Structure 1
Amino acid sequence: MELVVARIGRAHGIKGEVTVEVRTDEPELRLSPGAVLKTEPATVGPLTIETGRVHSGRLLLRFAGVKDRTGAESLRNTLLIAEVDPSELPEEDDEYYDHQLMDLDVVLADGTEIGRITEISHLPSQDLFIVERPDGSEVMIPFVEEIVAEIDLEEQRCVITPPPGLIDEREAIVVSTRDEEAADAGEAVDAADSTESTDAADSGDRA
């Protein structure tokens, strides 16, 4: 099975290094020196990783045969693809490969259908599930323990417990607007009461 494990970014320095956007939870395994990777577009590769290092929080790679900045820039936006055994599993029980999570049905704890996972975005702070809803719209679900309650690969489903507003932001906006209107109404009543009290006090003074 072929999996996209990184996307090449801009050149770094003048000796052929490039920054990469990592798209795997195991960069030390998939993007280590000596790894031979297919590419998209295919005409660019295959590429063999010659060196790798972390600089200012970013992974820098240099490929065999790429010796200068010009060569590095020519690789920009190329996808790096690794061949992975479909039966291979991560070492930790609570870790998953992207291909295991793709197309899982996403449901609430009560069984309500939300959609299916169509993409997984690996961000520096956390991973995100891109979920396509039945109406064709998309919603982003952070892959964190507080929200993703269960991954059931046997049943091919992902059970989530989202906070209010995560699934339907429009609903959250309506609720928020109602709250604001209620607060405004309350303030208006308070202001009216205050005016009436003041008027009563003034009337008493005049008496």
Structure 2
Amino acid sequence: MSGWALLAHLVRPQGRHGEILADILTDFPERFSDRRRLFLLPPGAEATPTAKNQAPPREIELEDFWLHQGRIVLKFAGVDSIDDAEKFRGFHVAIPESERAELTDGSVYISDLEGCTVIDLATEGAPAIGTVVEVDRSASLLVLKGTDGSEVLVPFAKAYLETIDIAAKRIEMRLPAGLLEINAPLTAEERKLQQAAAAEEGAPSPTAPKKWTKHRPWKKKPQK
């Protein structure tokens, strides 16, 4: 979202005193200790920041936080009950982009990668593979919308990376031969061959309707 850096996504109430469990969207969760002024963005605001009738971000004070099983629990001032916390389910916690933590050389913000066009320099003509629509942090994957509209998964690995130009929204990579074919969808001919092979082995076809076995109703034996 232009103008905002997302730090967390509020999932559900956690506890009886207004605490809220959240997914972490920042590489610096420890810096919540330095932040007291935060903003809550309504669901959808991060995707459509200029939508008409969109509720404005709500400034809120962070009272406390702690990490919990790979997530973070946040306690905001004035949110003191389960009902209070429930009102913010699905909201995003954000700060102005101007307040983001400074990065070391060679580092980039994940949010800045979204919208970048990925170029494969290893392929003749250096074609565009697609546009980054999401970054899978857990698997270090770039999720692209391919030039044909399909989903393309590309490892975001330093070994493949050549340059990142955030201003130009361009990522240049040199990918190993065959990497893109691994995640490519099956062609119509490949699906037919797969179904034929499954039929020969006696396995049900992926597109065939399931056949259900009719069972007799179970009857309880009378007690002697």
Q: Report the TM-score, using the length of structure 1 for normalisation.
A: 0.68
- 1:139 aligned to which of 152, 173, 180: 152
The equivalent of 1:193 in structure 2 is none
Structure 1 segments unaligned to the other structure (5+ residues)? 185-207
Distance 1:166-1:30 versus aligned 2 partners, 3 A rule: farther
CA distance in structure 1 between the aligned counterparts of 2:68 and 2:146, rounded to whole angstroms? 39
Does residue 157 of structure 1 match 2:171? Answer: yes
Distance 1:151-1:64 versus aligned 2 partners, 3 A rule: farther
Alignment of 1:112-151 (within 5 A): 112-122=127-137, 125-145=138-158, 148-151=160-163
Structure 2 segments unaligned to the other structure (5+ residues)? 44-54, 201-224
Give the alignment's Cα RMSD to 1 decimal: 3.3
CA distance in structure 2 between the aligned counterparts of 1:87 and 1:79, rounded to whole angstroms? 16
Divergent runs of 4+, >4 A: 30-33, 86-89
Aligned AA (2:127): T
Distance 1:164-1:127 versus aligned 2 partners, 3 A rule: closer
Q: Report the TM-score, using the length of structure 2 for normalisation.
A: 0.63
Write the deviation string for residues 132-174 of structure 1: whole angstroms up to 9, x where unpaired: 112222223343345x423421662231525364441427x94
Distance 1:17-1:86 versus aligned 2 partners, 3 A rule: closer
The equivalent of 1:106 in structure 2 is 118
Aligned AA (1:24): T
Deviation at 1:66, TM superposition (A): 0.6
- How many residue pairs get matched? 175
CA distance in structure 2 between the aligned counterparts of 1:24 and 1:90, rounded to whole angstroms? 12
Deviation at 1:56, TM superposition (A): 2.4
**Secondary structure of the residue that 1:28 maps to in structure 2?**
helix
Deviation at 1:30, TM superposition (A): 5.6
Does residue 15 of structure 1 match 2:24? Answer: no
Percent pairwise identity: 24
Deviation at 1:4, TM superposition (A): 2.4
Distance 1:137-1:36 versus aligned 2 partners, 3 A rule: same
Write the deviation string for residues 24-78 of structure 1: whole angstroms up to 9, x where unpaired: 2222336755132242254572222211101223211111111111211221111
Alignment of 1:57-76 (within 5 A): 57-76=70-89
Aligned AA (1:83): P
